[in-house]
Amino acid sequence: MFRFMRKPYVLNLLCLFVLALVPLAGLPQSSAVLPTVMTVSAPMRDGVKLQGDVFLPAQPGRYPVILELTPYGRGEDGINYRSDAPYWTQRGYAMALFDTRGQGGSGGSFRFMADGEDGADLVEWLARQPWSSGAVGMLGSSYTGTNQWHTAKERPPALKCITPAAAWRHPFQSTPYPGGALLFRWALTWPALLSDAKVDRSKRPDWVALLQHQPLSSADLFTFGNPLRLYQELLAHPTFDDYWRSRVLTPLDFKGITIPALMFTGYLDELHPDTVANFQALQRHSPARGSRYLVIGPWEHATVVDAGLDYRESYRPARQVRNLNLPDQAFLNSKDIYGRFFDWCLKGGSRFEQAPVRIYLTGSNRWLDLPTYPPPAAHDKMLYLTSAGHANGLSGDGRLSWQAPDAHQPPDRYVFDPLQPGIRPNGGADMVDLRNELERLDVLVYVTEPLAQPLTVAGNVRLELFAATDGRDTDWAARLEDVAPDGSAMRIGVGPAALVRARYRQGFARETLLTPNKQYTYSLDFHEVGHTFLRGHRLRLSLSSAAYPWVYPNPNTGNPLATDTAPPRKARQTIFHHRQAPSRLRLPILAEP
């Protein structure tokens, strides 16, 4: 989830969902006048000093300030917007790029996702400088987008607007514990990118070996030769406790955020559910109206902030996303959008004109302008799981039906072995066409008949699952695909799977183990989907219990995950789909005009 560093060894460390965000497109030509640069130190309320670089227009004056606060280093090889500085100074802004506490040149110790007070102090310090007009806006994405929310909740008077692209809303249940399962690939690799991590970053995780390694708490030592402070910190908080509560904005916080906010995300951005939730929290709690903007495109985390453009390819459109080939209309002029927004809220220019919500529909390849989100016209429709008890693999008898099941359907069963996860260890979690992975007896497959008419899904998609296991704990993982008439398929939804860890079925604040072989109800969240299944296409749902190395497989023991050294056990899994236990997909359907 965090913008790319430019060094090759760091690129090799990062995985798809840890993709670091990138500078905006449309950089000035080499003949442009370069800004004046100065390095400064800003004192915080506790005496710690944050170090930063300030870029000023060539002409002396007082300018509005655009601030980014980053934990990745503010240098040319860091993860930051430094290369944007000439664009913004030529447009009449000062740009300030600061290291967060404990990173780069800043003092103090790094505090994961707890930069609000520092951000507020920094905003007010920037507003007092002789080259500042007193108006400050913030720029950033992912972690540096999240910093904006935490700064805004402190209500510094000089902060006039924010642009938090791809930002967190729910630490813990989105990252690093989606559905309660450890986001292993991120938790092990991202802390190694921080400047205070004393590790050899050229070392790469051996996912095959790590699958056999115990305990999980020493996976950082096994991989890098030294422990990672943040990795250990995350493992120490496997439930939604006070550590995580202090990092979540409350309804009261959003009530106090009355400044304009512009949010970009993408359906393939792992933080898009959080970005949408932030927008909805403002709509629900903030008294201010008419100054919240949300854009959801067909983009990945790396290209969200540039509205689909890829800095790694000289800011050309990233047309190939998974196995989507995006047309011209899928990309927006992000520079113009950000520029008009900042001109309005920082310079008092003409009002920013844009629909409150813009969403893109893959499949039909069109944009929709909406007054709010989810689309008011969407309505839920159910697709029911059905079979004769043999839905295992592609050749099984699993079907998805618009009709509710009868009372006598037999359940489907499979055996989940944590040492043989349903997705191959080396990168398989990022596969887009899963056919090769669905010919397994430990994967259940359900598919519709070919559609007679296009079907547009716009909103939150959920799987309501009735299931049992013979253990005290296990995982349930689901994948949704669009299957074309030629048999090729495209995975729908963010992340490798919708997943839930059974011990968190009653919420993330506490762990409640299962009674073996007892039927429970689970909710698996595919999050926000904007897609048109075309005529002749089919919907395909697959169910298993693993998505490694995206998440660490459940050992099915019920023991604490970090310290468990007991042998992983095979679990016998049962999926019910009869009248009293109607396992089903809940689809928000948007009627075609």
Q: Is the pLDDT of residue 544 over 60?
A: yes
More confident residue, 416 or 198: 416
What band does 196 get if pLDDT is binned at 50, 70 and 90? confident
Indicate if the pLDDT at residue 531 is higher than 90: yes
Mean pLDDT of 305-309: 72
- The answer, yes or no, to whether residue 8 has pLDDT greater than 70, is no
What mean pLDDT is predicted for residues 134-159? 96
Strand partners, 135: none
pLDDT confidence of residue 9: 29
**What mean pLDDT do residues 437-446 have?**
92
| CA distance linking residue 265 with residue 295, whole number of Å | 6
Structure tokens at 131: 């080259």
Token couple for 230: 């943040």
The per-residue pLDDT of the chain, averaged, comes to 89
- At position 190, the amino acid (one-letter code) is W
Q: According to the model, what pLDDT value does residue 35 have?
A: 85
User: Is the pLDDT confidence value at 353 over 80?
Assistant: yes
From 157-166, 279-288, 415-424, the region with the lowest mean pLDDT: 415-424
Predicted local distance difference test score (pLDDT) of residue 4: 37
How far is it, in rounded angstroms, from Cα 382 to Cα 541?
13
Amino acid letter, residue 43 = P
CB of 101 closer than 8 Å to CB of 111 = yes
| C-alpha to C-alpha distance for 545 and 302, rounded to whole angstroms | 28
User: What residue type is assigned to position 205 of the chain?
Assistant: P
Residue 394: pLDDT over 70: yes
Average pLDDT over residues 109-125: 95
How confident is the model over 567-578, as pLDDT tens digits?
Answer: 999 999 999 999
d(C-alpha 467, C-alpha 69), whole Å: 45
Residue 16 in this model has a pLDDT that exceeds 70:
no
Give the whole-angstrom CA distance, residue 2 versus residue 322: 19
Could you tell me the pLDDT band of residue 406, with boundaries at 50, 70 and 90? confident
70-107: pLDDT as tens digits: 998 888 777 778 888 999 999 999 999 999 999 989 99
Given pLDDT bands bounded at 50, 70 and 90, which one contains residue 308? low
**Mean pLDDT to the nearest integer, 29-35:** 59
Contact 96, 26 (CB under 8 A): no
Q: Which residue has the higher pLDDT, 45 or 430?
A: 45
- At residue 494's C-alpha, the angle toward residues 488 and 495, to 5°, is 90
pLDDT tens column, 169-190: 988 888 899 999 999 999 999 9
Q: What's the confidence (pLDDT) of residue 18? A: 36
**Average pLDDT for residues 303-324, to the nearest whole number?**
74
Q: With cut-offs at 50, 70 and 90, classify the pLDDT of residue 250.
A: very high
How much is the pLDDT for 290? 85
pLDDT at 289: 81
**Nearest of 78, 194, 185 to residue 429 by alpha carbon:** 185
Q: What is the pLDDT of residues 469-512, one digit of tens each?
A: 999 999 999 999 999 999 999 999 888 899 999 999 999 999 99
10 has a pLDDT exceeding 80:
no
Q: Considering only 223-232, 395-404, 452-461, which range has the smallest mean pLDDT?
A: 223-232
Question: At 253, which helix (H) or strand (E)?
Answer: helix 251-255
